[in-house]
Amino acid sequence: MLEVYHFVNPLSGDCLETEKKLATYVEQSNKKVAMQIIPVVTMQSARQTAMASSNSLHPSLHDLNVVSQTLYQVAVDTKAAQFQGKKAAREYLMATQQALLQGNAYSDELVMQTVNDLALDQEMFVEDRNSDLAVQAFRADQNLAAEMGVRNFPALVVYDTDRSEYAVRTDDFSDEHLTRLFLSATRQRLREYDGFLHNGGVTEVEEG
């Protein structure tokens, strides 16, 4: 089985496009795939978003403080949705990204409309988004990104459970590279990395 971690900036159009592209490759893969889309909040991504004057985001998202708070809240809300399943989290994040990239502000009204559109349990979602558990899950994701050496977004880490000592980290989302990772009958041997721990064992990560 392939474990796939897709690290994204929720306010990046490039990240949304790679999410859509990855979904196609996951569906076509000749191996079972477990995928998580993980929104990551960094000062670098917040600054890049705030300074991107040519984007289609809401005008308030050119303010660094607003961008940082929005990135944080989207990430926490995605974790709240994930308590109703990984698929729910992926669908919530993608729907939210599409709305934000169309110029909408991230408001409670937008959040609850998205939850309603996806037929999630609204009461459970509201309780979870305000819980310490969602914040802890968010922090765990940020730590995971740091441990895996993820610094740029979008980024992808693919871990092959059939060869537990190997993994790959890449920011190459070309068709050629994704085909090699997900569809090739003889996937490339993945090389060494300096120490991400996975389920108690050292996972070696190749820069792809």
Q: Which fold has domain 2-147?
A: Glutaredoxin (3.40.30)
Closest CA to 145 of 135, 134, 136, 156: 156
pLDDT at 93: 97
Is the separation of the CB atoms in 4 and 79 below 8 Å?
Answer: no
Query: Across the strands, what pairs with 38?
Result: 7
Strand partners, 37: 6
Q: Provide mean pLDDT across the span 150-167.
A: 84
For the chain, the DSSP string reads -EEEEEEE-TT-HHHHHHHHHHHHHHHH-SS-EEEEEEE---HHHHHHHHH-TTS-S-GGGGSHHHHHHHHHHHHHHHHHHHTT-HHHHHHHHHHHHHHHHTT----HHHHHHHHHHTT--HHHHHHHHTSHHHHHHHHHHHHHHHHTT--SSSEEEEEEGGGTTEEEEE----HHHHHHHHT-SSPPPP---S-EEETTEEEEEEE-
Question: What is the per-residue pLDDT for 198?
Answer: 42
- Per residue in 170-191, pLDDT tens? 999 999 999 988 886 444 444 4
Please report the pLDDT score of residue 55 as a whole number: 66
pTM of the model: 0.85
What average pLDDT does the structure give for the chain? 86
What confidence score (pLDDT) does residue 125 get? 98
Sequence spans of domains, the chain? 2-147
pLDDT at residue 155 tops 90: yes
- Ranking 81-85, 137-141, 194-198 by mean pLDDT, the lowest is 194-198
Q: What pLDDT was estimated at residue 100? A: 94
pLDDT of 54: 53
Over residues 3-21, the mean pLDDT reads 94
Per-residue pLDDT, averaged over 119-125, amounts to 98
pLDDT tens for each residue of 27-67: 998 889 999 999 999 998 899 888 875 568 888 888 999 99
Starting at the earlier edge strand, list the strands of the sheet with 196-198.
Answer: 33-39, 2-8, 155-160, 166-170, 201-207, 196-198
Q: Indicate the residue type of 73.
A: Q
Residues near 4 by beta carbon (within 8 Å), at least 6 away in sequence: 22, 26, 33, 34, 35, 36, 156, 157, 158, 159
